[in-house]
Structure formats: C-alpha cells, structure tokens
C-alpha cells in the first residue's frame, strides 16, 4: 500500500492510530455515522457505522475523538477518528468567544501530502481532521479514507446520500435533519462542546463532547502529482453526530 509522504507523515499516521496507543477514556454516549462509500475491493454503497463505543484522547491542547463499532482494538475495528489540533481555539474562554456552533473546515493535516505532490503553505489550515478506518470490514487490506476540504464529485450517485438523517440540534451548527442529496462536496464539522483536556476534571459539562459533521472522503493519493489538478475524486460522503462524556479509563493498547 503506497504511503503518504512528507515531514508531517508520521504525525498523520499517529493521528490515525492515536486511540490505540495513548491513554484514553471510553465514555457512555450515542452517535450516528451514515452515508455512502466507494472503497475499491472493500465497500460500495450505503454505509452505517452503528457506533456504540466512544473515546477521547487528550494530549496538551489536542484532542482525538474515537467513534467506533465495538470496543475491540482499533486495528481490528471499523471506526472514525477525529483530531482537533487546538481545542483552546474552539472552546470559549475568558478572552475568546471560541468557535462553538460554527462550521469548521475538515482536511488532511498541514504538511502532509502524497508522494510527488509539493508542499504548499496554507495560511488558514483546517482545525480538524477526520479518518474512517475499515479494519474489520476490509480484513484483507488496510483501508482508510480521509476527509478532505473538497472533492471532485462523480457523475453518478456514488457520493450522494439518498435519505435524510437526524442531525444534532440546530444550535450546534448542523441542519436537523440533514437533508439527502449530493451536498456541496466540502467537508465541515461543528462542535457545541469539547472536553477541556484535564483527565482529573470533575465538572461533567467540561467533559462533554458534542458535535456533528458532513464530510467527503477521498484517497489523498488520487491528488494530481503536480498539485495543480482538480480535487481528489469522492470516495465517500458521511454525515453524523456524537454526544459522549470523557471518562478516564485504561489505555486502549494491546499490552499492559
């Protein structure tokens, strides 16, 4: 499997695997991740993650949210990982109104590109990143699709959601319900609450993670090698939401 390459590649791989290697808390909650996928040799058509396991991995000002079906190790599961680069820029504070209830761009982390694609400075990098791993459904290969800022929509309906889904409440920045259709081809996520990152936090409100998303997935290796072509073709369109509390627990890792 060809790998992404750049100075930030290791950081990107760490994002995808963070929930398996760092201390995390599996909290009670609920959520939805539904849509359509077009992953060659693995999945084609409607998709519903049906998540029942939720976890948060804080590290300094970053936070990785894990929304997964089943509580097995991530390397054996179907799961979504959402990385927030700096929660202090999103959570309200005494000096900032924050960015709660605002649609935020979702894209590959800054500094990460496929082989042959030049690095280009981005003055406004996306604050959040999203990856869907299908390690259970696609056992014969490692399949991961990444949300990108914009995709090239296909001429068929392979990236068109054909039914409405329940979104989070409208106050959180997502339509309720999220309407069926092809959408804009641009990935966004919105938060109305994020864990403050303190594993000893006793205030329940400060441990709540709540948000909703409308993302378009792609294989970044589909990007034009010269970096001047159209956005990568759409490999999936997912919509959903999550609500869960951070609860400190044992590290989700395959060793003591």
- Residue 176: the pLDDT is 75
Residues 252, 90: Cα–Cα separation, whole Å: 26
pLDDT in tens, 82-109: 999 999 999 999 999 999 999 999 999 8
Query: Which of 45-54, 63-72, 116-125, 153-162 is predicted least confidently?
Result: 116-125
Residues contacting 4, CB < 8 A, separation 6+ = 12, 13, 112, 113, 114, 115, 220, 221
Looking from the CA of 210 toward its CB, the CA atoms found within 13 Å total: 18
pLDDT above 50 (res 13): no
The pTM of the full predicted model, rounded to 2 decimals, is 0.85
Do residues 14 and 27 make contact, with C-beta atoms less than 8 angstroms apart?
Answer: no
**pLDDT at residue 67, rounded to an integer:** 95
- Which residues are 34's β-sheet partners? 48, 239
113 or 62, which is more confident: 62
Of 89 and 252, more confident: 89
- Give me the residue spans of the domains in the chain: 9-245
């Amino acid at each position: 499997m060809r790998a992404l390459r750049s100075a930030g590649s290791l950081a990107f791989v760490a994002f995808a695997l963070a929930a398996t290697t760092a201390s995390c808390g599996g909290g009670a909650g609920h959520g939805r991740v539904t849509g359509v996928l077009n992953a060659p040799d693995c999945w084609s058509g409607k998709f519903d993650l049906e998540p029942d396991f939720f976890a948060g991995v804080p590290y300094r000002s970053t936070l990785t949210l894990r929304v997964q079906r089943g509580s097995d190790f991530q390397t054996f599961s179907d799961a979504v990982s959402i990385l927030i680069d700096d929660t202090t820029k999103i959570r309200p504070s005494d000096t900032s109104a924050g960015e709660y209830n605002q649609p935020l761009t979702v894209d590959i982390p800054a500094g990460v590109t496929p082989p042959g694609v030049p690095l280009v400075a981005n003055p406004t990098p996306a604050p959040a990143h999203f990856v869907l791993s299908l390690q259970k459904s696609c056992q014969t290969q490692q399949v991961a699709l990444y949300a990108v800022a914009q995709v090239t929509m296909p001429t068929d309906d392979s990236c068109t959601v054909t039914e409405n889904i329940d979104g989070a409440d409208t106050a959180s920045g997502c339509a309720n319900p999220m309407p069926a259709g092809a959408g804009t081809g641009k990935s966004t996520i919105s938060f109305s609450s994020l864990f403050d990152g303190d594993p000893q936090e006793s205030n329940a409100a400060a441990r709540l993670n709540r948000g909703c998303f409308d993302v378009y997935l792609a294989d970044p290796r589909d990007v034009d090698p010269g970096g001047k072509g159209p956005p990568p073709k759409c490999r999936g369109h997912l919509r959903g939401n999550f609500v869960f509390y951070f609860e400190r627990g044992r590290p989700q890792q395959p060793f003591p």
